[in-house]
Amino acid sequence: MDFTYRGRCWKFGDNIAVDGDMMPLEFALQRETRLEVLGPHLMGGLDPDFAKKAKPGDIIVAGKRFAQGNPHIQGLLGVAALKLGLVVESIPRGSFRNAINAGAPILPRCPGVTGMADTGDALEVDFAAGRFRNLTRCTEAQFEPLDPSLLETIAIGGWKAKVLARVAKMKAAAG
Amino acid sequence: MGQTASEKIISRAMGRIVKAGEIVHPEPDLITVHDWYVVNFDKALQEFGVDRLYAPGKVLISTDHEPVAVSAAASARQKQVREIVRKYGITHFYDAGRGGHGHVFPMELGLVRPGMLVLAYDTHVTNYGAIGCLGIALVVEVSELLACGSVWVRVPETVRVNLKGRLGKGIAIRDIAQRLIKDLDPDLVDYTTVEFGGPALADIPVDLRMTLCNTPLEIGAKSALVDVDQRALDWIAPRAKAPFTVTNSDPDATFKAVIDYDLGMMEPQVAAPPTPDNVVGVSQVAGRKVDYAFIGSCASCSLTDLRDAAAILKGRTLAPGVRLVITPGTQEIATRATAEGLTQIFYEAGAMLTAPGCGPCAGGRIGTIGPGEVSINTGTRNDPGRLGPKDAEIYLASPLTVAASAVTGRITDPRELL
């Protein structure tokens, strides 16, 4: 499966909080899941204009413990809403599952990646192969790729779409 | 090359050898869901167009978050749960007053055994590690599991903790379990199984091993396990409902880290607001006035915990103005506590006993506190709002420290009363 994003880098540091930094907590408390509501607020706690500036295919590059805090899915749904990719040094497991379930492509374990790009650099990230290319710097790095079964979930649009497809397949098999 | 216990358990479920880091779709031996989530999963299954469970005989439902319904809505929900259980033909249903805390009684009843893989809704399913069963929480994805029979799981790496030394007077395993999650690096522990063994294990009763397995997830661990030793086997053998295989890690397994941890710490430990890993020695918070104390929750609800509380409360009464709620974890623990005379000690001290289960720890539905009040308790978490009002302060400590503080009305080092 080809799963490559080409776009600009948006770089963030360590310990970006899922509540507050990535998305207002209120949306988590309201269990808001509509992409059109969440997208415009993404990363608003750090850069109120982020959602206006970011374009589909752009990549968020971040440091350790990205999306830390109570594992609310809303921040990750915001990433999926804007059709961005994630390349992070580390991410707590609850938020990793949420990224997959939201349908946001991610390379979850990329030690040192924040030293390999700056905001504005042109990037090309192949999530299936784990290949990270900085086209501005003409550098390339290889990280642990995303498992094919998780890529399938992202490709189909996240957890709910995946389960519906799985159930349909089971029903078809059962005749 | 040897395997860790987690690798062995998931390998057996998969029918092939798996290694840490692999993404797999194992079918678990048991699936647990608690009273409060049953209606939610039913709704999710309806959205998925699913009208039967993949394996209803593997599903266990406990009634522990709100066994005594405290509102009309809660009573209606209990009724709905019974209907849902009938609709799907779920065999292991434990209604109010049957069983007790779902993170504890399935071990007592021998439904959970060493070497099993249990996937669950609720995060503290890691308690089952006390007897060598790998429990992993899925939260909302349990709906997919119920419908389809499996979900993806990343085979966890293992951080091995070898316990050594001896507990000092007035120090409880709860103190160790709390201090450990302050001392461990969350980046190291994230997504791993924290596995306990070592020479001090033989001194630790099986029911307190649940406490050890309860806290690591608060800093990101996926699960927790304790080596199954003779003491554990003596506890399990008369209870097990079916044969089981002891599944400890091989000595030459690959561990992410191996840590020696000494039980001989200097003083009891207290988790100060706002997180369970914000842990300090009791001397740093001693003297803080308390209004409300609670002993129970899946972290500290065992017979040994109740004995510790009774050792402090015997012949004493609570400080004026202080309330103390005690929630035995299960029907069995409550029965044995009564037979031993502990219940009488609690009542004579001025404590209130509630139905077995989570007690007030379950998100502040029963036994809430007033605005701005201060609680010291043995719950699992101390986030603002856990016991109702957001401005209430919550301190977490051992049953010894909580009982001592309830007697004096201030956060107190229990060694002063022992």
For position B170, what pLDDT does the model report?
Answer: 97
B190 close contact with A: CB closer than 8 A? yes
- Is the per-residue pLDDT at B103 higher than 80? yes
A150 close contact with B: CB closer than 8 A? yes
Answer yes or no: do B141 and A65 touch at CB < 8 A. no
Give start and end residues of each alpha helix (H) in B298-413: 303-313, 331-339, 342-349, 399-408
Domain count, chain A: 1
Round to whole Å and give the CA distance between B277 and B311: 27
Instruction: Please say which residue of B237, B262, B287 terminates a domain.
Output: B262
A169 close contact with B: CB closer than 8 A? no
Question: Within this chain, do residues B198 and B346 fall inside the same structural domain, yes or no?
Answer: no
Question: Within this chain, do residues B200 and B316 fall inside the same structural domain, yes or no?
Answer: no
CA atoms within 13 Å, Cβ hemisphere of B18? 23
- Is the per-residue pLDDT at B409 higher than 80? yes
For position B1, what pLDDT does the model report?
Answer: 84
For position B367, what pLDDT does the model report?
Answer: 84
Element (H, E) at B160: strand B157-164
- Is the per-residue pLDDT at B37 higher than 80? yes
pLDDT bin (cut points 50, 70, 90) of residue B332 is very high
- Is the per-residue pLDDT at A45 higher than 90? yes
Give percent above pLDDT 70 in chain A: 99
B52 close contact with A: CB closer than 8 A? no
CB B111 within 8 Å of CB B242: no
- Is the per-residue pLDDT at B219 higher than 80? yes
Average pLDDT, chain B: 96
Chain A residues with CB-CB distance to B143 below 8 A: 163
A161 close contact with B: CB closer than 8 A? no
* Residue B198 structure tokens: 């070592």
CB A160 within 8 Å of CB A154: no
For position A31, what pLDDT does the model report?
Answer: 82
Instruction: Enumerate residues 6+ apart whose C-beta is below 8 A from B203.
Output: B166, B167
Instruction: Please say which residue of B200, B235, B262 terminates a domain.
Output: B262
Chain A residues with CB-CB distance to B139 below 8 A: 71, 94
What strands lie across the sheet with B192-197, from one edge to the other?
A: B223-226, B192-197, B157-164, B257-262
For position B253, what pLDDT does the model report?
Answer: 98
From residue B198, give the alpha-carbon distance in Å to each of A7, B1, B128, B132, B236: 51, 21, 19, 15, 20
Sign of the dihedral defined by the CA atoms of residues B73, B79, B85, B88, in that order: negative
Round to whole Å and give the CA distance between B211 and B127: 7
Q: What is the radius of gyration, based on Cα positions, of chain A?
A: 16
Round to whole Å and give the CA distance between B238 and B241: 9
Question: Within this chain, do residues B304 and B220 fall inside the same structural domain, yes or no?
Answer: no
CB A113 within 8 Å of CB A142: no
Three-state SS at B194: strand
> For A168-173, what is the mean pLDDT?
94
Judging by DSSP bridges, how do beta strands B59-62 and B192-197 pair with one another? unpaired
What amino acid occupies position B293?
A
Q: Which among B47, B148, B186 has CB closest to A170?
A: B148
Instruction: Please say which residue of B262, B293, B321 terminates a domain.
Output: B262
Round to whole Å and give the CA distance between A67 and A16: 5
Answer yes or no: do A159 and B144 touch at CB < 8 A. yes
Chain B residues with CB-CB distance to A109 below 8 A: none
pLDDT bin (cut points 50, 70, 90) of residue A71 is confident
Question: Within this chain, do residues B332 and B253 fall inside the same structural domain, yes or no?
Answer: no
Round to whole Å and give the CA distance between A91 and B154: 14
Q: What is the pLDDT of residues B221-252, one digit of tens each?
A: 999 999 999 999 999 999 998 999 999 999 99
Element (H, E) at A173: helix A159-174
For position A70, what pLDDT does the model report?
Answer: 81
Chain B residues with CB-CB distance to A159 below 8 A: 141, 144
Place of tokens 């060598």: B132
Q: What are phi and psi of B363, to 5 degrees?
A: 70, 20
| Lowest model confidence (mean pLDDT) among B157-161, B365-369, B404-408 | B365-369
A149 close contact with B: CB closer than 8 A? yes
| Lowest model confidence (mean pLDDT) among B53-67, B75-89, B351-365 | B351-365
> For A135-142, what is the mean pLDDT?
98
Q: What are phi and psi of A151, to 5 degrees?
A: -60, -40
| Lowest model confidence (mean pLDDT) among B81-90, B119-128, B356-365 | B356-365
CB B18 within 8 Å of CB B25: no
Domain count, chain B: 2
What is the longest distance spanned by two Cα atoms in chain A? 55
Domain of A128, CATH number, reads 3.20.19.10
A154 close contact with B: CB closer than 8 A? no
Domain range for A45: 4-174
Question: Within this chain, do residues B256 and B171 fall inside the same structural domain, yes or no?
Answer: yes
A147 close contact with B: CB closer than 8 A? yes
Chain A residues with CB-CB distance to B147 below 8 A: 163, 166-167
Q: Which among B148, B187, B220 has CB closest to A167?
A: B148
pLDDT bin (cut points 50, 70, 90) of residue A30 is confident
Q: Which among A64, A65, A167 has CB closest to B147?
A: A167
Sign of the dihedral defined by the CA atoms of residues B221, B227, B233, B235, in that order: negative
- Is the per-residue pLDDT at B105 higher than 80? yes
For position B390, what pLDDT does the model report?
Answer: 86
* Residue A97 structure tokens: 């599952």
Domain range for B126: 5-262
Chain A residues with CB-CB distance to B190 below 8 A: 90, 92-93
Q: Nearest 5°: CA angle at B257, between B254 and B263? A: 125
| Lowest model confidence (mean pLDDT) among A156-160, B261-265, B386-390 | B386-390
Instruction: Enumerate residues 6+ apart whose C-beta is below 8 A from A10.
Output: A43, A50, A54, A58, A59, A60, A61, A84, A119
> For B303-324, what is the mean pLDDT?
98
CB A162 within 8 Å of CB A156: yes
**ipTM of this complex:** 0.90
- Is the per-residue pLDDT at B364 higher than 70? no
> DSSP assignment, residue A155?
H
Question: Within this chain, do residues B254 and B357 fall inside the same structural domain, yes or no?
Answer: no
Round to whole Å and give the CA distance between B388 and B364: 5
For position B265, what pLDDT does the model report?
Answer: 84
Chain B residues with CB-CB distance to A90 below 8 A: 187, 190
pLDDT bin (cut points 50, 70, 90) of residue A1 is low
CB A99 within 8 Å of CB A67: yes
First to last CA, chain B: 49
Give start and end residues of each alpha helix (H) in B92-205: 105-108, 142-148, 173-183, 186-189
Domain of B55, CATH number, reads 3.30.499.10
Answer yes or no: do B187 and A90 touch at CB < 8 A. yes
Round to whole Å and give the CA distance between A103 and B185: 29
